[in-house]
Structure 1
Amino acid sequence: MRTLIAWLFGLVASSTLAADYPTTGMLYNQQEDSSLTYTCSLQQGQQRLRCEFIQTAVRKKAKAADLEKRLEEARKNYPDAVKEFSDPKECNMVGAWLGMATGQISIDAALIRNPSIATDAAKFKEGMIRLQEDAKANPSVLDTFRALASMCDHPTEENYLKITMAGHEKDLRTCQVSSNPFAQEFVWVSDFGNSGAWVVSSQPEGQCGVVQLSRFEKDQSDTSGLFWRYVARKAATNPSGTVLPGLSCSAVDQGEYVYDWKKSRSDHMQCEFIEFSPI
């Protein structure tokens, strides 16, 4: 197994202690809108380096190219959806939601007529008032409600697809924020590049035999010698395998992603909505 790892690195890890190592800091992904904070300490008689990371990322919930796939899926679901929209009770509920959101129907009156609409009336009213305020500032937040109401009035395929398009339009303006902790252990590889690097100590995992090849390398442009870059990379040692039916291990992303200490990102992502995501 160690021979395989060495082959992937194209070198052999040295047992000699590095002159120094990364300790703590914050780095910025140069290809994507994400950052890493890290804290590292030497382990096992100063032969290994253990680092705790927190990765924070911001990404768009949807891309423009996703729409056709979503519409295709909606067309398949349309026959079953028609049955749901033929239920007067459900459609009355949609009408009540839209009426409250636009302020055309009193929230208190709607709750009296439809007590099942909320398990906690006070919290529901608080949330609906907030939705009313958002709708005044940005009427597009009600586009999905309007599309649902149109489907109730006229349950055509065209109106059903408008629900999907309204949801997609909102997702294009929605940014997802995630924060994920992870830990890695590194060994010093003296002949990596021109000045050596701390490289992740990893074993192949899963059906694809994925090996982590990420590394810390010193920023050679920094004359103080204090700053490090982190380069995230992985490799599939079994590219002929499959992750899931129809998904080959050869599709595993094996590109390099550079996190640099001095080059932060400030992209204009046009986020009207924010969602917190677990991944």
Structure 2
Amino acid sequence: MKSLIMLAVGMVAFDAVASDYPTTGMLYNQREDSSLTYTCALQQGQQRLRCEFIQTAVRKKAKTADLESKLADARKNYPGAAKEFSDPEGCNIVGAWLGMASGQVSIDAALARNPGIATDAAKFKESMIRLQEDAKANPGILDTLRALAGMCDHPSEQNYLKITRAEHDKDLRTCQVSSNPFTQEFVWVSDFGNGGAWVVSSQPEGSCGVVQLSRFEKDRSDPSGLFWQYIARKAATNPSGTVLPGLSCSAVDQDEYVYDWKKTRSDHLQCEFVEFSPI
């Protein structure tokens, strides 16, 4: 009965029997929308534990608070952008895209008026049909095209900022999905915490001297002894150094992130668009 309940609420871990080290399983980040799958095996006469991980994460592409900084950048870039929008040929293409996406201009008519808009007419028509379908489901696509066309018709800083606002609005409804494989080796530290832990074996790396301090610990709240938690953490041993010009090593994220076998998060991210991200 317990296993059926766990399946129903998404709390399944793969470790089948209690052991002195994690073997295989899936864990959920308790602060962010990400998960870890892992497979571990003892190495070198059972003195070290080698684990293969895949981290999968889902995050919003933008935050509401990002808009002001984006608008500030757009104001700085406006003089150069105004020159680009003075190109009649480019603006004709923007108008053609808006007409086709909104259905106000047929794809064939747009191709006839703008023969240089596509090198392969058949593939272009297929992509435009998909764009029309997407625009019906997500009107925000048309908002960006209308903002571009508005800048072409009446170049001004105000109209240029409308493009930034339209793009930001779409980014607020876009979620990025990433998958990151990595490997870590652990050593058993018996006097860590209340019952010992498998702690990452790590050397300082980079100009910040970043050391990995992540660890596996038994879930003390689970009387069966079946389940493990993974606590991700790193530390900068050279906080006075710099990662990049203007970015101090003291800014390196050194918080702890607990990955638990219990899936306690269920965020409603409201994703209308999905992008796959390398990180």
- State the TM-score, normalized to the length of structure 2: 0.91
Q: Which residue of 1 aligns with 2:115?
A: 115
2 CA distance for matches of 1:178 and 1:123?
A: 29
Of 182-191 and 120-129, deviating more is: 120-129
Q: Which residue of 2 aligns with 1:183?
A: 183
2 CA distance for matches of 1:112 and 1:185?
A: 62
1 CA distance for matches of 2:119 and 2:179?
A: 31
SS in 2 for 1:151: helix
Q: Deviations over 1:216-254 (max 9, x none)?
A: 000111122111000000000000111111111011000
Q: Which residue of 2 aligns with 1:10?
A: none
Question: Which amino acid letter does the alignment assign opposite residue 158 of structure 1?
Answer: Q
Q: Which residue of 2 aligns with 1:54?
A: 54
Q: 1:45 to 1:120 in 2, by over 3 A?
A: farther
SS in 1 for 2:52: strand
Q: Which residue of 2 aligns with 1:77?
A: 77
Q: Which residue of 1 aligns with 2:249?
A: 249
Q: Deviations over 1:147-175 (max 9, x none)?
A: 00000000000000000000001001111
Q: Which residue of 2 aligns with 1:174?
A: 174
2 CA distance for matches of 1:188 and 1:212?
A: 15
Q: Deviations over 1:49-89 (max 9, x none)?
A: 11111100010000111111111111111111111111100
2 CA distance for matches of 1:73 and 1:261?
A: 43
Matched-pair identity in %: 85
Could you tell me which runs of 5 or more consecutive residues in structure 1 were left unpaired when the two chains were aligned.
Answer: 1-18
Question: Which amino acid letter does the alignment assign opposite residue 254 of structure 2?
Answer: Q
RMSD between aligned residues:
1.1
Q: Which residue of 2 aligns with 1:86?
A: 86
Question: Which amino acid letter does the alignment assign opposite residue 187 of structure 2?
Answer: V
Q: Which residue of 1 aligns with 2:98?
A: 98
1 CA distance for matches of 2:193 and 2:78?
A: 57
Measured after TM superposition, the shift of residue 118 of structure 1 is 2.6
Measured after TM superposition, the shift of residue 45 of structure 1 is 1.3
User: What count of residue pairs does the alignment treat as equivalent?
Assistant: 261
Q: What is the 5 A alignment of 1:96-175?
A: 96-175=96-175
In the alignment, does 2:272 pair up with 1:272?
yes
Question: Which amino acid letter does the alignment assign opposite residue 115 of structure 1?
Answer: P
Q: Deviations over 1:172-210 (max 9, x none)?
A: 111111111111000000000011000000000000000
1 CA distance for matches of 2:72 and 2:20?
A: 55
2 CA distance for matches of 1:40 and 1:51?
A: 4
2 CA distance for matches of 1:77 and 1:227?
A: 53
1 CA distance for matches of 2:155 and 2:269?
A: 35
Of 87-96 and 136-145, deviating more is: 136-145
Displacement over 3 Å in runs of 4+: none
Could you tell me which runs of 5 or more consecutive residues in structure 2 were left unpaired when the two chains were aligned.
Answer: 1-18
Q: 1:118 to 1:43 in 2, by over 3 A?
A: farther
Q: Deviations over 1:82-112 (max 9, x none)?
A: 1111110000000010011011111123223
